[in-house]
Amino acid sequence: MVETLGPETLKKLKVRAGEHLAALLTATFLLTPPTGIDTEGEVDLWFDLSRRRGEGMKPAPILPDGAASAAFEIKSMPGPFREYDSSIDRDRARGIDAFGRSLTAPVQAASDVLRETGPVLRRAREQLHRKTSAEASRNIFLVIHLFDYFVAECMRPSILGPLLDPLPDIEGVDTVWVLWPLEHLTIWSNEQRAWTDLLFNEGDPEAETAPDEMDALQDAEDYFLARIGHTGGSPYLFRLSAGGGTAEGG
């Protein structure tokens, strides 16, 4: 993806909104990098799926059959954590110690969180319809940060899709991808009226990550940000400490 679009273009992805994570994951599961990102009011991610067919390869069976292109609008659910994290970064840059600060997040069921996504999904749908034609596959990528919505089901390594309630019909949108950092990615298909889990963690899903190791997505994110020369940190690079009730950001 860096080779396709270049570091300067990819720097336009909003890290605090998780747009870079959406780009990494969609490229991985669509088996092709995006050919465009939003620089002047376009869709957030644009994929030319015809290139794979031209090279004799089938696109991944995630989007509707026959789709020659795919557009994605990326949205992140609003919450206090990213501003909280950003304020810590600003204070650290001024030499102010941020140790001892805390942020409280209620534990919620995943389906309860999904019920709050309606306004965000409708806004993304409106943007897709305004920016694209009906020939393109229209899709939404939603990022839900762990410290804004502490989802109980995400604390287990099991798949998440069967535990989620159906989404209401989102007219004119093919799929809704939901990233529940850091280990769960689910996709709602409007056509199939069903959730699918996309798995990207390596190794035994029951095995615990060592305290000094990053999650698979964090590792990919850290590499990607280094490749494009991003130096502003990320609210998605953090470690959890189960015993002390703390999280260490990066």
For residue range 15-47, what is the model confidence (pLDDT) as tens digits? 988 999 999 999 999 989 999 999 888 999 999
Measured CA to CA, the distance from residue 167 to residue 114 in angstroms comes to 8
Question: Could you give the 3-state DSSP secondary structure of residue 75?
Answer: strand
Name beta bridge partners: 247.
240
Strand runs (DSSP E) across 26-66, as ranges?
36-37, 45-48
pLDDT, residue 235, reads: 82
Among 5-14, 151-160, 190-199, the least confident range: 151-160
- Cα(67)–Cα(88) distance, rounded to whole angstroms? 44
Task: Measure the CA–CA gap between 248 and 242, rounded to whole angstroms.
Answer: 12
| Structure confidence at residue 106 (pLDDT) | 76
The ranges assigned to domains in the chain are 2-249
Question: pTM for the complete prediction?
Answer: 0.85
Residue 250 has a pLDDT of 54
Give the C-alpha separation, 227 to 116, whole Å.
Answer: 35
Question: With left for phi above 0 and alpha for psi between -120 and 50, is residue 174 left, alpha or beta?
Answer: alpha
